[in-house]
Structure 1
Amino acid sequence: MRGGDHCKSMNQFIWSFLCGLGEAKFLNRTFVMDLNVCLSGAHTPDGKDVDGKDFRYYFDFEHLKESASVVEEGDFLKDWKRWDKKKGPGRITVRKVPSYKTTPMQLKRDKSNIIWRQFNGQEPENYWYRVCEGRAAKVIQRPWYAIWKSKRLMNIVTEIAGRLDWDYDGLHVVRGWKAQYKKNYPNLDADTSPDALAAKVPMLIKPWRHLYIATNEPFYNYFDKLRSHFHVHLLDDYKELWSSNSEWYNETMALSGGKPVPFDAYMRVIVDTEVFYRAKTQVETFNNLTRDCKDGINTCNL
């Protein structure tokens, strides 16, 4: 049952989701999965949460079903309604677990047909990942192998890399709210300014290479000073790959019941990051461009 992780960052959602999946595997049970995802304001341009997204927009549900025992919640609830018509012996038994403090080890011998975890408390008591903390951390293995990025998005990644002949360098420039949060990131804004980038990047990447810039900087012309050193490529140079004429558009429409699906900020992050990972040389913001720490001051050595 959905807890306080709903509408948190995608990193927290996945950390909790894989905790639930890992517990189901530990208990030798099938995990009942809600495909509805809330995209946190951390991943949207206006900072507002957007509910009603589909897990399959971002991740490969077919691979997940091949890698783990899962059933989609809507299908499961239909079956449960049918099974529940039975009376007496053979009726479905349900164990409700209201708190994360009931450990997976305590549920190992439970004979109920359904174990129903509920997270009704206040944050952070209602975060699903709490189930996998403490002693449970030693027995629950998160099945990271089950989570692949959506094939629809990875097809865009392959197309972009292919157009660059798989021979390009990558620059990852993190700006956004971190650049404005001077208390935790005192140098980031200045260290990733157009002048600073024009001075630093040519010392790290050979001139006139194809340079793919993965970034959350919204101003397209922000990197123009690098164009006198490199053949610069940005995600928005490939907009036709998710336009209304694209394969991606048609495939996501099929998932959404015919409604157009916006190419949202988290999809951009996935494609940007995956194209960057395939670059020959990779220049990172927090390793190469700034003295600031990735998670704020005093966290560099964590």
Structure 2
Amino acid sequence: MSSSDQEEEYHDEGSPLFRDDSEDSGRRRRSSSGPSSAAVGEVPVSQSIIKAASNVCFSLFVLAVLAITVAAVTYQPPDPWLQSSAALTTSLSRVLPNSTFLVPDDSLLPTGEDFNSSSSSAAAQRDATDQAAAADATPAAAAGSCDDNDPDAPVNCSDPRVLAAVKAFNAKAFFRKSIVFLSYEAPVPGPKPGECDVAWRFRNRREKSWRRYRDYRRFALTAGEGCALEIVSVGKFRSGKNAARSPRRTKGPKSPHVAAPPVDAEINDTVPVVGSEAEFRKGKYLYYMRGGDHCKSMNQFIWSFLCGLGEAKFLNRTFVMDLNMCLSGAHTEDGRDVDGKDFRFYFDFEHLKDSVSLVEEGDFLKDWRRWDKKKGPGRITVRKVPTYKVTPMQLRREKSNIIWRQFDGKEPENYWYRVCEGRAAKVIQRPWYAIWKSKRLMNIVTEIAGRMDWDYDGLHVVRGWKAQNKKMYPNLDDDTSPGAIVEKVTKLIKPMRNLYIATNEPFYNYFDKLRSYFHVHLLDDYKELWSNTSEWYNETTTITGGKPVPFDAYMKVIVDTEVFYRSKAKVETFNNLTRDCKDGINTCNL
């Protein structure tokens, strides 16, 4: 008898429909070969179906739990910094809106000034305060009597009416140009009678930071009706040289025949140092030894650097920072890595040190060697952490003066950002608000936009390797040809407007066909802003002790992109010019 027959016989005998008599026993013997009656067939089949269904459901549940458990244990989330540029852009666009750091070779990642709402609110509050102060500073005598003044006499620049006329002119001329005037300085005489140079501080509403910029222009004035003065002509951006500040004296050979350009006196990126031995011993420091992120792309550097700053904040420690950077070949014109770059060339160090607690690595190591006693109670305690797998949470109660993270392993085990992966990602917050672009570079951006009176449109043309890659971008080369650009841009931008073209196209005359329709401006038209007679050159050589600093490709991308960002009407490659997707074929909906 088979096992199924035995099981059926067992269930049949246990059924209350059967009795222990001879007739039923004979029926049971006849049913041993299989169910032969309706009563015998109905109950076992239904019970078997229910049992089989429950077994299947339970098995599926167990398999699902097992699959989820295995996935949770073994799954490692993809690291966007190690993926292709397409995956990088896609992943960042989901978490970092309003893109503005370098994704090779056509866009920048956002810094804190681009999307930090707290900066925007703080800027608005400062605007209101400064504008109120500027209004209160308007001389009362400007509205007074002028009966004693000779209308034929030369304009006196110290006359309160001069500043009143300049303010009225600026309020009207820049009303629709996103410029907020914060404060004015006293007018000074120009080179000719009737000319006055006036300087003021301003902010651009398109920036969410509260950084101020400076302009000084030359005004020609004459007597008007009644007491008012009329402005006859106005110079271009920073044309009032007499109102420019005297340059700071810098070390180096004297050149009496060449006047040093003015510098931005509001930039203060001196390196913070530990004041005394007692202060050093009381401090708590987080020291990241140089790892595999050195000479990697700027994306990876910033992602890792912000991880270190985030851990230092989580541990309530001062971060030990190396100002020396290596610019990856991805951001240089010849494709070679360039070591020895200074962090202050690209980012606002003054804002960084005001936002987080840090010290410079060189001075820190000198103080450590000088004040550390190898033996005895005065010894500076150190906790060496050889692997990123020691989480920040495990170091939360560490009492040592210095937590020294060492990254000696092979790539990618020696990347700084590995510290912030896994469970640490839930507790470490990267302080994006601490990273702003260099004010020295932003001064160049402001000057280029100022020379166009902040009244211009922008065109962003991406070519380079993307236009050569027909497999990923089959239409880009043709869609960004000179003829195709003219055909599309003339339909989107009004004729004879100022048109700034941000592009990675190396051939300067590539856009000559547009010059018949617009006033075309390219970054190379402003080379004097970073030449050896420029304000930028004078300020960067102050950092390097007189050694010239090349204006590299990454700096150009920052300036180019930020000038485009401030334009009014914007025409973009992947939104307006081409049918291709920004990250290659079949990625438009990602």
Normalising by structure 2, what TM-score?
0.50
State whether residues 295 and 326 of structure 2, in contact with CA within 8 Å, keep that contact through their aligned partners in structure 1. Answer: yes
Instruction: Report the equivalent of 2:345.
Output: 57
Q: Answer 1 or 2: higher relative contact order, Cα 8 Å, separation at least 6.
A: 1
C-alpha spacing 1:40/1:170, structure 2 compared with 1 (3 Å)? same
- The residue number in structure 1 matching 2:515 is 227
Q: C-alpha distance in 2, partners of 1:179/1:62?
A: 39
| CA displacement at 1:290 relative to structure 2 | 2.3
Number of residue pairs aligned between Structure 1 and Structure 2? 302
The CA RMSD measured in Å over matched residues stands at: 1.5
Q: Which amino acid aligns with 2:491?
A: M
Residue 109 of structure 1: SS of its match in structure 2? coil
2:495 is aligned with 1:197: no
Q: Quick one: which of 356, 360, 366 aligns to 1:78?
A: 366
Alignment correspondent of 2:573: 285
Distance 2:308 2:407 in 1: 12
1:211 aligns with 2:462: no
Higher alpha-carbon deviation: 22-31 or 104-113: 104-113
Equivalence for 1:94? 382
Query: Aligned to 1:71, what secondary structure does the other structure show?
Result: strand
Structure 1 residue 86 displacement after superposition: 5.5
Kindly report which structure 2 residues correspond to 1:9-48, keeping only aligned pairs within 5 A, or say none: 9-48=297-336
State the secondary structure of the residue aligned to 1:171: strand
The runs of 5 or more residues in structure 1 that have no matched partner are none
Distance 2:415 2:473 in 1: 28
CA distance in 2, matches of 1:161, 1:188: 28
**2:583 maps to what in 1?**
295
1:245 alignment counterpart? 533
Aligned pairs for 1:103-114 (under 5 A) are 103-114=391-402
CA displacement 1:102-161 (0-9 Å, x = unmatched): 221111111121111222222222221122222212111111111111111111111111
Name whichever of 202-211 and 64-73 sits farther off.
202-211
Change (3 A) 1:277 1:90: same
Superposition misfits of 4+ residues, deviation over 4 angstroms: none
Q: Name the CA distance, whole Å, in 2 between partners of 1:51 and 1:94.
A: 29
Q: What is the DSSP-based 3-state SS (H/G/I as helix, E as strand, rest coil) of the residue aligned with 2:447? A: helix
Return the alpha-carbon distance in structure 1 between the equivalents of residues 555 and 500 of structure 2: 17
Larger displacement relative to structure 2 (120-129 or 20-29) = 120-129
**In structure 2, how many angstroms separate the alpha carbons of the residues matched to 1:78 and 1:226?**
58
Cα gap change, 1:298 to 1:100, in 2 (>3 Å): farther
Larger radius of gyration: 2
> CA 1:105/1:37 → structure 2, altered by over 3 Å: closer, same or farther?
same
For each residue in 1:71-118, what CA deviation from the matched residue of structure 2 results, as whole angstroms up to 9, or x when unmatched? 111111111112213532231111222222222111111112111122
Displacement of 1:178 in angstroms is 2.3
Give, in whole Å, the separation in 2 of the partners of 1:198 and 1:219.
17
Q: Are residues 301 and 20 of structure 1, via their aligned partners in 2, closer, same or farther at CA, if it must alter by over 3 Å?
A: farther
Is 1:143 the equivalent of 2:436? no
For residues 117 and 143 of structure 1, what CA distance do their matches in structure 2 show?
19
Within 1, Cα distance between the matches of 2:578 and 2:382? 54
Cα 1:227–1:73 change in 2 (3 A) is same
Tell me if structure 1 keeps the 8 A contact 2:373–2:380.
Answer: no
TM-score between the two structures when normalised by the length of structure 1? 0.95
In the alignment, which residue of structure 2 is the partner of 1:120?
408
2-structure distance, mates of 1:94, 1:301: 51
Which of residues 448, 460, 471 in structure 2 aligns to 1:160?
448
